Structure 1
Amino acid sequence: MAENMGNTEEQVEVITAAQTEDVTDKKCPNCGATVVYDPETLSMTCPFCGYSRTLPKPEDNGQDVEELDFASAKNRESLDWGKEKKSLVCKNCGAETIMDSADTAQCCPYCGSTQVMPVDNDEDVVAPGGVVPFEITKEKAAQLFKGWMKGKLFAPNEAKKSCEAKNFSGIYLPYWTYDSQTTSPYQIRLGFDSKDKDGNVTTTYRTYTGIYERFIDDETVYASKKTTNRFIKAASVFDFSKLRKYSPEFIAGFLAERYTVGLDEGWEIAKTQIKSTLNSEISSMEKKKHKADRVDKLTFNTAYSKVTYKYVLAPIWIANFKFKEKLYNIVINGQTGQIKGEAPVSPIKVAVAIILAIIAIIVVYALLNN
């Protein structure tokens, strides 16, 4: 795929943004305890004395999440997270997370291992430009889990009654989003079927050419290689139209996974996704336009211009529960409440379902024959 944008160097001096002065004060002004972000009230709250400070709504602060120019990215990236942070790495699964320097982590939120160690890394960690805030509280997540378990048809009744999710960890996942104008000269070969009086089908092929222009808005790439939990991607469908400008208050009391897919690598992944989208759209458009029966072949080259990007964070809850000495993992979308995970299965319920299905098939077969 062709590109008409400037190439970027990996080793370029990064300028720290000095404009971010609204550093999070995580101490309660009343009792001195640590305050955290409350998704339900959209405020900073103290769990001990009840102190609360409401954060400004998007329409109040008038700040949109800035789209950054890709070609000059390395000279504009901000390293300022608004408060001193530290990086942690899990020696078991390799996941890297970022948290406030004063906070502590007893175990890895992904695999549950206690082999969590602080890491000294000379590599600069780019600060996010935007955040999709948590809308689901920990209490709400626990309620959603109970409803999810009750809805599992083949789960043992004992599990439905007794299982409780534990070790809820609120984590912000890293994402790159890309915008770009695309121009794609293409050539497509379409097939047209015709049938003779004997029912034999003959296909005639015709070739067409054209130029397809499309603006790509917020092509999203999950910026992590370390996470192996298969349920995370399944549960991570977010509404990025609710993106808020990054403020350290939003991640107070939560972890943020460190990105392991860089900006350039993310763009290569995004282009692969974009190519798939363009392939589908051009094929559908031309097939409908010419009333063809099939697409035989499509080739196109795409030029990208006015490429911009955002580095953003989006929320999930990770938890686990134990049933008969086996540990089960669940992931809950921190914005929508969507749940993905595994649940125990009752062999008896499965066997009964199979028997009932066989009986139903026999009955239907008998009725049809009669």
Structure 2
Amino acid sequence: MNQETPKRSEHKKSCVNCGAELLYKPGSSEVKCDYCGHEEAIEEAVSEFEELELFPYLEQMGAQSHTEKISMLHCKTCGANQHIEENYKSLHCVYCSQPLVVEDTYHEDWILPGAVLPFQLDHKKSHEVFRNWVKGLWFAPNKLQRAALDPQKTKGLYVPYWTFDAQLYADYTGQRGDYYYVTETYNTTVNGKNVTRTRQVRKTRWTPAAGSVSGFVDDTLISASKQRSNSIPNKVANWNLDALETFNSKYLAGFVTEKYTLPLKDGHLKSKQEAEKIATGWACQDIGGDTQRVSSLDMKLSEETFKHILLPVYISSYVYNNKKYQFYVNGQTGVVSGKRPYSFWKIFFLILFVLAVIALLVFFGNQ
């Protein structure tokens, strides 16, 4: 195990008054001591977050000035790699709630985040949002209701993403479809008699099309986590990236940070697939008409850059009937979603109640 000393950004932030840990105060630009109430401003960045040239990183993991060693804890149950800014005495995996062994901490290189989207909801508010959501679930087990009252079940996590920028140029061939209508005659039966009627039928006139499209593809967002079984629902994974801040590790204090497990190379391949979808959409707009077909697309990307960013989410994990369920709250917007269990007995007794009501109505209706 590599015992190399972590760099400054990993060191615990201590209160100047009492020496307790300083934690990031969501919705602000400050860190706060929960023990004595002392607050400190997070210093403003001297420059905007930087877009990094892609290919040097693809070839050799990038320049040393943008990589650093970070302390990591690996969950042996679900495989998530998690970094903590504080000295936790005990910690459970945010994804599967299994204990993490602090003695298993190791250090490895990561590409430094270029930007972070700070939490806007604190733990108390996020738990309130989650609890209200649970209360509104029909047929939820009582155990879920009780679990929702335990704040320890809700954890704040910064999840890793790659974003990619590029100049896009593409040649395409395809077809333009223009609608036109023809009158058709058909036979039908009305009141037992055969009658002849007409109707308008839409047809498509296809003509060959070819051309080129170009433009700037900005901030293609690719999840850098391989937690497929624990993937964040699309409803929750929707952040306003205009609120990104230049990375400062003080924003991480008090939260768990997941290290990317999707390599930059694989993230780049996914971004190219997204770029092809964008280029196809541009080609369809360029072809015009009522509908379009794109037969071939020769796409080229240039001036490619990327950045590693961290985005906020709260996770609550719950086991019911030996099956794990997870719920997510967007740490910026408060949107909540997740898979939920159903109570068999609540549904069963509701069906019995409905059947009993129907039986009574039938009984009294026959009196």
1:183 aligns with 2:169: yes
- Residue in 1 aligned with 2:136? 151
Q: Deviations over 1:14-51 (max 9, x none)?
A: xxxxxx97886611111111111111443111111111
- Residue in 2 aligned with 1:215? 216
> Aligned with 2:55: secondary structure?
coil
Q: How far apart are residue 284 of structure 1 and its match?
A: 4.0
Q: What residue identity is the alignment partner of 1:258?
A: K
Q: Structure 1 stretches of 5 or more lacking a match?
A: 1-19, 360-370
1:244 aligns with 2:245: yes
Distance in structure 1 (CA, Å) of the matches to 2:229 and 2:167: 33
Aligned alpha-carbon RMSD (Å) = 3.2
State TM-score, norm by structure 2: 0.78
1:312 aligns with 2:326: no
- Residue in 1 aligned with 2:284? 283
Question: Is the contact between residue 133 and residue 250 of structure 1 (CA under 8 Å) also seen in structure 2?
Answer: yes
Question: Is the contact between residue 172 and residue 294 of structure 2 (CA under 8 Å) also seen in structure 1?
Answer: no
- Residue in 2 aligned with 1:108? 93
Q: Alignment partner for residue 80 of structure 2, among 95, 105, 109?
A: 95
- Residue in 2 aligned with 1:262? 263
Q: How far apart are residue 106 of structure 1 and its match?
A: 2.5
Q: How far apart are residue 227 of structure 1 and its match?
A: 5.2
Q: CA 1:326 to 1:271, structure 2 compared with 1: closer, same or farther past 3 Å?
A: closer
Question: Is the contact between residue 131 and residue 243 of structure 1 (CA under 8 Å) also seen in structure 2?
Answer: yes
> Aligned with 2:210: secondary structure?
strand
Q: Alignment partner for residue 50 of structure 1, among 37, 48, 69?
A: 37
Question: Is the contact between residue 70 and residue 109 of structure 2 (CA under 8 Å) also seen in structure 1?
Answer: no
Distance in structure 1 (CA, Å) of the matches to 2:322 and 2:204: 61
Distance in structure 1 (CA, Å) of the matches to 2:172 and 2:305: 25
- Residue in 1 aligned with 2:55? 71
Q: CA 1:90 to 1:23, structure 2 compared with 1: closer, same or farther past 3 Å?
A: closer
Q: What residue identity is the alignment partner of 1:183?
A: Y
Distance in structure 2 (CA, Å) of the matches to 1:201 and 1:40: 55
Distance in structure 2 (CA, Å) of the matches to 1:128 and 1:90: 22
Q: What residue identity is the alignment partner of 1:184?
A: A
> Aligned with 1:72: secondary structure?
helix
Question: Is the contact between residue 176 and residue 309 of structure 1 (CA under 8 Å) also seen in structure 2?
Answer: yes
Q: CA 1:325 to 1:301, structure 2 compared with 1: closer, same or farther past 3 Å?
A: closer
Question: Is the contact between residue 317 and residue 331 of structure 1 (CA under 8 Å) also seen in structure 2?
Answer: yes
Name which of structure 1's ranges 188-197 and 93-102 shifts more when overlaid on structure 2: 188-197
Q: Structure 2 stretches of 5 or more lacking a match?
A: 1-6, 185-199, 359-367
1:302 aligns with 2:299: yes
> Aligned with 1:142: secondary structure?
helix
Question: Is the contact between residue 44 and residue 53 of structure 1 (CA under 8 Å) also seen in structure 2?
Answer: yes
Q: How far apart are residue 216 of structure 1 and its match?
A: 0.4
